[in-house]
Amino acid sequence: MANVVVVGSQWGDEGKGKIVDWLSEQADIVVRFQGGHNAGHTLVIGNAVYKLSLLPSGVVRGGKLSIIGNGVVIDPQALVDEIATLAKQGVEVTPESLRVAENAVLILPLHRELEAIRESSSARIGTTKRGIGPAYEDKVGRRAIRFMDLADLPALGPKIDRLLAHHNALRRGFGLDEVKPQTVYDYLAGIAPKVLPYMDSVWLLLDTKRREGKRILFEGAQGALLDIDHGTYPYVTSSNTVAASAATGSGLGPNSIDYVLGICKAYTTRVGEGPFPTEQVNEIGRIIGERGREFGTVTGRARRCGWFDAVLVRQTVRTCGIDGLALTKLDILDGFDEIKVCVGYRLDGREIEYLPAGEQAQSRVEPIYETIDGWKEPTAFARSWAQLPAQAIKYVRRIEELIGCPVTLLSTSPEREDTILMKNPFET
């Protein structure tokens, strides 16, 4: 039995929700291993639509154990609110179905306020203003409040003082009132009883379940191109989004990961600031955006749209060790006379086959396109290769050649049944 990691192979929003939900039916445990409630998954199950930001997708599947790993930064109020929202939809999340890592870092109101201030400046990155970045800063600065700290309220005083020594200095620089230690303490003391029942030693729990032969599905947020190390820095998220983070973000050793499934759209989108070589700020980009309903699950922001960039996906295949690709939203390209695919870049007069790490160089790369004939017959709702137009199959095969990775799963609509499976990741 294989343990599978699912990662986005572009800038996020690739349709991971449907794929993770589809795979979670075969898994015993679903683990969220990085990010925060700045990411979102939309799950369509029958007539019900679930929008998840922090909770693993497995929570909507009865009998599945869902886990939030130590690599996630957790806004405790957002956690409480999301559990309450699901309850209104008839999904009960209990301590038996959800466990949260005791060593996960908490997002506090002061983190949200700090990020909002930064995003109002000319140096904005294009974040969701949810406090994710400042919380990760406190984590690596060794001053964060962690989930386990809620279980020992009398010991919080020195930890809050250490946190505020940093944050109040920043606030004074911005001309803001300082945060009083009692304010932070009262907030934490009030939220603690609501979330502590979910706390666990996740690394130990996962190791036990692995030894029992349970199937574990690791669910990433955002996409590999937003990785703090390997993404389009500084226009990235504040955590490692590549597949290797599944191990560090859960406490399970890397030798426990058997298969990495990358999720990828048949075109490219991006939310927020930063380089986007194949972006189409024209009628084509508008059509793709409208057909694909390209609006963020969490923010509602319109996504930037463009042609498929094989250079970037080939790069993430390597940095994530992707074994197979799930290609989504092929149906959005139905009806185009011709479709372009980026096969290389031109930088300062020379051709290159990768995205350079430097911000200035990234902004100067020009895409080299290959033009592929489109198809007029619909691919929407297809459930087998035989139902696909021949030219659509040629498009998929050309993508495989360019990125050096097989397409093992094809999605042709938001409905989970509209999926063409070539290889089951859990049966490797």
What are the pLDDT tens digits along the chain (428 aa)?
589 999 999 999 898 888 888 888 889 999 999 999 987 677 777 778 888 889 998 888 777 899 999 999 999 999 999 999 999 999 999 999 999 999 999 999 999 999 888 887 766 666 778 899 999 999 999 999 999 999 999 999 999 999 999 999 999 998 999 999 999 999 999 999 999 999 999 999 999 999 999 999 999 888 999 999 999 999 999 999 999 999 999 999 999 999 999 999 999 999 888 999 999 999 999 999 999 999 866 667 789 999 999 999 999 999 999 999 999 999 999 999 999 999 999 999 999 999 999 999 999 999 999 999 999 999 999 999 999 999 999 999 999 999 999 999 999 887 778 888 888 888 86
CA distance 21 to 275: 31
Catalytic residues: 13, 41
* Residue labelled with tokens 């386990």: 148
DSSP per residue, 220-279: --S-GGG-TTTSSTTSS-SS--STTHHHHTTT--GGG--EEEEEEESSEEE-SSS--TTB
Strand 73-74 versus strand 105-106 pairing type:
parallel
Q: Directed axis angle between helix 76-88 and helix 181-195, to 10°?
A: 40
In DSSP terms, 4 is beta-bridged to 217, 259
C-alpha angle with apex 313: 308 to 316, nearest 5 degrees? 160
Tell me how far apart the alpha carbons of residues 214 and 27 are, in angstroms, rounded to a whole number. 8
Task: Give the rounded distance of the alpha carbon of 355 from its chain centre.
Answer: 21
DSSP string, 104-122: PEEP-HHHHHHHHHHHTST
The torsion angle over the Cα atoms of residues 348, 351, 354 and 359, rounded to 10 degrees, is 0
Measured CA to CA, the distance from residue 188 to residue 180 in angstroms comes to 13
Residue 259, beta-bridge partner list: 4
Sign of the torsion formed by the C-alpha atoms of 246, 247, 251 and 257: positive
pTM above 0.85, yes or no: yes
The DSSP 8-state label assigned to residue 302 in this structure reads B
